[in-house]
Structure formats: C-alpha cells, structure tokens
Amino acid sequence: MAMNTLTCGECCCLFCCPPFPTSIASKLAFLPPESSYTVATEDNGASYNLHLTDRAEFQYSQKELDSIEVFKAKTKRGNKICVMFVRCAGPTRYTLLFSHGNAVDLGQMSSFFIGLGTRLKVNICSYDYSGYGCSEGKPSEKNLYHDIDTAYFILRTRYSQNPENIVLYGQSIGTVPTVDLASRYSDIAGVVLHSPLMSGLRVACPDTRRTYCCDSLVNIDKIHKIKSPLMVIHGTDDEVIDFSHGLEIYDRAPVTVEPLWVEGAGHNDVELYGSYLDRIRKLLEKDLPKLQGLDLSQPPSDTLATKKTSKL
C-alpha cells in the first residue's frame, strides 16, 4: 500500500480538487498492478481455469496449483470479481478470508497463500478488488465493501463455512473492507489486522486527530463495533503506515488478544520474521478456541462456538 506523507501543496491539490472522499481514496490508496494471471472459462462458463504469468513468481508444483480454485462472481454493484479458494488442509477448524494489500493481485499472492495455509493447516479464500487482477470495474472504497461481501457470501454458501469458523484477515488497505465486514457481523470467529491504517487522511497527514468529512478509508470510527476477538500485527519501523496506527486500532478495539509488534519490521517484510507464523498459529490453536469455549478434542466439524468477550 503506497501512502506517503504529502506536502502542503500536494494536500491542497488532493483534497480540494475535488473534495470528495472517494476521490481521495482513489488518489491515495489504489495501485492495481498489471495482472499476473488470466482466467479462462470452460464448460460454457460453468468452470474457470487459472493461468499464471511469470509475474506471479509461483514457487510450487502443479500439484499445489491444482489445489487452487478460481472463479468469477458478480457483486451487488455489478462488477464481476475474481475469487480464489486455496485448499491447503483437509477438515480444518478455521478458514481465512484474506483481503490482500495494495499493488498485488491473486496471482502474486497464490504462492504465499499456499505456504501460509499449509503451515497453519487452514484453507484460504481471497479475492481481487474491483479493478485488480481479472476483476472488473474500478477501484473505489464503495467497491471494496461490496467485493468483500461477495467473497464472504461465497465462503458461506459455496463452501458451507459457518461464521464461527471464519477468520477475517486484512493486510494494509485490505484492513478497510475487513474492518467494515467485521463491524457488521458479530459472530465471526476472529479478525487479524496486519499493518492497519486509522484512515486515509491520517496516513497522508500524520498530525490529523479527528475525522473530517473529506476523509476516507476510516477504520478508526468502525473499530469499536467489532465484537469478535481482534489481533493487530504491525512493524515498529513501518515506513508506509506508521506504527502509531496499529497501536491506536488496538487500543480502541473492544475484544483483543495479544498483538504482534514486530521490532524493526517495515511495511512489507513482517512475514519474514519467525514471530509472524508463531503468533498466528497461537491465535488459531489457542486464543480463539479458548474465547469460543471450544473442545479441542473434538473434530472441527463437531464444534460450536460460544462467543465470550474478554482480553487475553
């Protein structure tokens, strides 16, 4: 997610021409890359076939590639977006609904999803925002919310995932749709916010202390509505979204588990630290089951979640 501190002149140009939040969001946040994949329809549109380009830098074999299912689904705004389901595990307690960061698409993320899902023993569902990858439409804040709603609906219906088995994971700009969805559904198992931003204006103008009408991507005003256990991950040397954003998000969340503050990490290298996988694994194997009151001796399909609101 490429957001940098702006000069006074740049701010005037940005926020005055025109002074609309959707325009601000587009100028600040959205950097869709050249697509790293194509999706071909087969069987008269009944199925889709994924083709990765060299830009995807896929690191696995055909066997792992075959574990990826991709298809298109129409949002309520009429855009057909690409949705990806990466089957890394058999029967598993949790599935991650992953909202990726900026300047990447599903093709570039596919290797990461396989590695992450295999190590955590979870399946991963993700999607490309409108205007990213092979998704239709244009990137916008409103489209973000409809995009994640579509992916969540597919996870609930096509893959029969109950809310208590779904963990929302948002990274950088992906924390925006993640927070919005989590603020509207109280029965989600858990939420992970990786390098979250408070709002677009607070990233561009770090001294901003309140929400103005021209602001956009405003996570900070929704965070109090999230009733699911929330974990924040942030690098202390983040050069794009300052570490203070993660701290403030964590402080305002009603139900939190131990955060992961990665000492010395920036915006794009948190995953390279050993504590990253260790902390998420603890979240999935200990923190969330404890808060849900689950019997870990039972198979995942036989467990029922009972929501508790407390801090670990």
Q: How many domains does the chain have?
A: 1
- Residue 128 lies inside a defined structural domain of this protein: yes
Can you give the pTM of this predicted structure? 0.87
Q: Is 238 a catalytic residue?
A: yes
For position 126, what pLDDT does the model report?
Answer: 98
Per-residue model confidence as pLDDT tens digits over 15-46: 444 445 555 555 557 999 999 999 998 766 66
Residue type for position 38: T
Tell whether the model's pLDDT for residue 201 goes beyond 80.
yes
What distance in Å separates the CA atoms of residue 96 and residue 171, rounded to the nearest whole number? 12
For position 208, what pLDDT does the model report?
Answer: 87
- Residue 302 lies inside a defined structural domain of this protein: no
Label residue 10 by pLDDT band (50, 70, 90): very low
- Residue 247 lies inside a defined structural domain of this protein: yes
Catalytic residue of the set 135, 194, 267, 287: 267
- Mark 151-179 as b/e (b = at least 16 C-beta within 10 Å): bbebbeeeeebeebbbbbbbbbbbbbbbb
Among 7-16, 115-124, 265-274, which is the least confidently predicted range?
Answer: 7-16
Among 42-46, 143-147, 192-196, 274-278, which is the least confidently predicted range?
Answer: 42-46
Catalytic residue of the set 238, 242, 245, 287: 238
For position 192, what pLDDT does the model report?
Answer: 98
Average pLDDT of the residues in 156-177: 97
Q: Is 267 a catalytic residue?
A: yes
Token reading at 6: 């702006």
Q: What is the mean pLDDT of the chain?
A: 88
For position 110, what pLDDT does the model report?
Answer: 98
Q: Is 172 a catalytic residue?
A: yes
Tell whether the model's pLDDT for residue 63 goes beyond 80.
yes
For position 59, what pLDDT does the model report?
Answer: 95
**Between 34 and 7, whose confidence is greater?**
34
Average pLDDT of the residues in 127-152: 97
3-class secondary-structure state, position 185 = coil
Label residue 289 by pLDDT band (50, 70, 90): very high
Which domain, by its residues, includes 285?
8-294
Per-residue model confidence as pLDDT tens digits over 245-278: 999 999 999 999 999 999 999 999 999 999 999 9
- Residue 311 lies inside a defined structural domain of this protein: no
> Measured between alpha carbons, how far is residue 164 from residues 25, 157, 286 in Å?
32, 14, 15
What share of the chain has pLDDT > 90, as a percent? 75
- Residue 208 lies inside a defined structural domain of this protein: yes
CATH code (residue 158)? 3.40.50.1820
**Between 104 and 206, whose confidence is greater?**
104
Please report, in angstroms and rounded to a whole number, the separation of the first and last CA atoms in the chain: 30
- Residue 304 lies inside a defined structural domain of this protein: no
Nearest to 266 by CA among 245, 249, 242: 242
What distance in Å separates the CA atoms of residue 98 and residue 175, rounded to the nearest whole number? 10
Catalytic residue of the set 130, 172, 199, 216: 172
What share of the chain has pLDDT > 70, as a percent? 84
Label residue 5 by pLDDT band (50, 70, 90): very low
Average pLDDT of the residues in 200-228: 92
**Between 43 and 230, whose confidence is greater?**
230
